[in-house]
Amino acid sequence: MSESVKIVEKKPIPSEATMLIGLPDVGLVGLIATSYLITELKLEEVAYMDSDLLPPVVVLHKGLPHAPLRIYGNQNLIAVISELAVPVPAIYSIMRKIVDWGQEKKVKRIVSMGGIPVESRQAITEPQVFGAASNQELLDTLTKRGLNLMNEGYIVGPQALSMRYSISKKVPAIAILAQSFYNYPDPEAAAMALKEFSRIFEIKVDVAKLLEKGEEIRLKARDIMKRTQQEMNRMKKSQEYDLPLYV
Amino acid sequence: MFRGNSMSEKQRKRSIFDIMSEYVEEFETLADELMESAFPEGPSWNTETCCLHALSNVFITPREVIVTADLPNIEPETVKVEAVDENLIEITAKMKKKVRFADLGIYHRQGEFSFLRCQDHIHVAFDAEKMKISYKGGIVEVRFPRKK
């Protein structure tokens, strides 16, 4: 099954980099934050993903075709994005491949940014950001750097799998999650998540332009949000509202 | 002869697994149909009406129907909520600035849009005359009391 997904490298991939994953999910927080970071840091496309499990789609940018699932990078950072709502049946193989590939490339850690759906989001002016990590040492590091922890709760979808597979592969993994709308694109939440990412990993990025372009992003992101919502419904994403029971 | 009878007997009497499998198939077809009706395929714009389709949600509580819509880039005073019929409401708003396909980086289509619009089906009775509308951070919220 893992062979059904291939990562085709176009350029040399650095080792010891931080791998950032921003796939379409709640409020498109991870995708908006990661694609903005790619543009701001002028990261180059270094690889792309090919799989028969994905719909037959290419994305045209400036007239040239691109795979919807692409990997960008520089010497310190590798960023994975998808301009396609990843179909639920493909998500296991895709995430397993990303983590396996990251381990092969000796990444220092895997970070995924995303949203935590909150019902009263429109009443929140500045979304709060929470963290989760694959081991206690990492959690302590996040706490020391002032990030609130998501102590109890469910994570569903690509972030859940990136965390699960990272643990089994012994690759340190962190999730940075901002309070966000469930199925409306949320550039403000993306900006907050990115600010925390930038602060924790000391990667300089100014989110002012992201906030300025918020309305334009919300207009442009309606279609991918709609398709992402269909996949979120299929993967029972609403379980993130549930309270876990462990006595 | 005996075998032949036994085979046809088997064919006539479907096993419980066959029946369950048929039910599952029917259920899956129904689920797909429901999904398609909830998320109809098609463009998220209408060049004839100059409308972009807005994302929206409907929440039904024991006392209220709450509809929200994501309406970025609009003039809040132009928000209009209308009950098209007893099960359908429509929210429209004028955008601050017309949006052309070219503004979104699309040059192979032509058209410009002045409005954001959404239509939502509501499957419980509600009182459209007592609706309350609020707008914050680009999100319109409309509350209707439910009819008893």
pLDDT for residue A2: 46
Closest chain A C-alpha to B6 CA, distance in angstroms: 41
Instruction: Provide the b/e sequence for A85-103 (b: ≥16 CB within 10 Å).
Output: bbbbebbbbbbbbbbbbbb
Same domain, B50 and B9: no
Q: Work out whether the CA dihedral A214, A215, A220, A225 comes out positive or negative.
A: positive
Q: Which domain holds residue A56?
A: 7-236
Contact in structure between A152 and A243 (CB atoms under 8 Å): yes
C-alpha to C-alpha distance for A241 and B3, rounded to whole angstroms:
58
Q: Which of B132, B129, B119 is nearest to B57 (CA)?
A: B119
Residues of B in contact with A215 (CB under 8 A): 72-73, 138
- Is residue A242 one of the residues assigned to a domain? no
Closest chain B C-alpha to A209 CA, distance in angstroms: 16
Q: Counting beta carbons within 10 angstroms of the beta carbon of residue A198, is it exposed (0 to 12), middle (13 to 18) or buried (19 or more)?
A: middle
Same domain, B54 and B31: no
- Is residue A100 one of the residues assigned to a domain? yes
Structural domain total, chain B: 2
Same domain, B119 and B74: yes
Verify whether the Cβ–Cβ distance B99 to A219 is below 8 Å: yes
Same domain, B120 and B78: yes
- Is residue A231 one of the residues assigned to a domain? yes
Contact in structure between A117 and A26 (CB atoms under 8 Å): yes
Verify whether the Cβ–Cβ distance B55 to A219 is below 8 Å: no
CB pairs A-B closer than 8 Å: 47
Same domain, B75 and B120: yes
Which residue in the set A183, A215, A219 is minimally distant from B52, CB to CB? A219
**In a mutagenesis test of the B interface, which of A186, A211, A219 is the best target, namely the one with the most B β-carbons within 10 Å?**
A219
- Is residue A48 one of the residues assigned to a domain? yes
Residues of B in contact with A219 (CB under 8 A): 52, 72-73, 99, 104
C-alpha to C-alpha distance for A227 and A30, rounded to whole angstroms:
16
Closest chain A C-alpha to B107 CA, distance in angstroms: 10
User: Residue A164: which residues within 8 A CB-CB, separation 6 or more?
Assistant: none
Residues of A in contact with B55 (CB under 8 A): 183-184, 222, 225-226
pLDDT for residue A151: 84
- Is residue A90 one of the residues assigned to a domain? yes
pLDDT at B1 over 60: no
Average of pLDDT values for B70-97?
Answer: 94
Same domain, B13 and B49: no
Report percent pLDDT > 70 for chain B: 82
C-alpha to C-alpha distance for A172 and A174, rounded to whole angstroms:
7
Verify whether the Cβ–Cβ distance B138 to A220 is below 8 Å: no
Average of pLDDT values for B86-103?
Answer: 93
Same domain, B65 and B134: yes
Q: What is the full per-residue pLDDT of chain A (247 aa) written as tens digits?
A: 446 899 999 999 999 999 999 999 999 999 999 999 999 999 999 999 999 999 899 999 989 999 999 999 999 999 999 999 999 889 999 999 999 999 999 999 999 999 999 988 988 999 999 999 999 999 999 999 999 998 888 888 888 999 999 999 999 999 999 999 999 999 999 999 999 999 999 999 999 999 999 999 999 999 999 999 988 888 887 777 788 777 7
Same domain, B52 and B25: no
Q: What CATH number is attached to the domain comprising B125?
A: 2.60.40.790
Structural domain total, chain A: 1
Structure tokens at A145: 């750097």
Closest chain A C-alpha to B73 CA, distance in angstroms: 6
Verify whether the Cβ–Cβ distance A215 to B55 is below 8 Å: no
Q: Which domain holds residue B90?
A: 45-145
Verify whether the Cβ–Cβ distance B44 to A222 is below 8 Å: yes
Verify whether the Cβ–Cβ distance B72 to A181 is below 8 Å: no
Nearest chain B residue (CA) to A233: B35
Contact in structure between A94 and A53 (CB atoms under 8 Å): yes
Q: What CATH number is attached to the domain comprising A207?
A: 3.40.50.10900
Same domain, B79 and B26: no
Same domain, B20 and B56: no
pLDDT for residue B135: 93
Q: ipTM of the predicted structure?
A: 0.86
Same domain, B98 and B138: yes
C-beta contacts of B47-51 below 8 A and 24+ residues apart:
B47/B110, B47/B111, B47/B113, B49/B115, B49/B117, B50/B111, B50/B112, B50/B113, B50/B114, B50/B115, B51/B92, B51/B113, B51/B114, B51/B115, B51/B116, B51/B117
- Is residue A243 one of the residues assigned to a domain? no
Verify whether the Cβ–Cβ distance B70 to A218 is below 8 Å: yes
- Is residue A35 one of the residues assigned to a domain? yes
Predicted TM-score (pTM) of the model is 0.87
Nearest chain B residue (CA) to A225: B55
Same domain, B93 and B136: yes
Residue type for position B80: K
**In a mutagenesis test of the B interface, which of A184, A188, A224, A228 is the best target, namely the one with the most B β-carbons within 10 Å?**
A184
Closest chain A C-alpha to B129 CA, distance in angstroms: 25
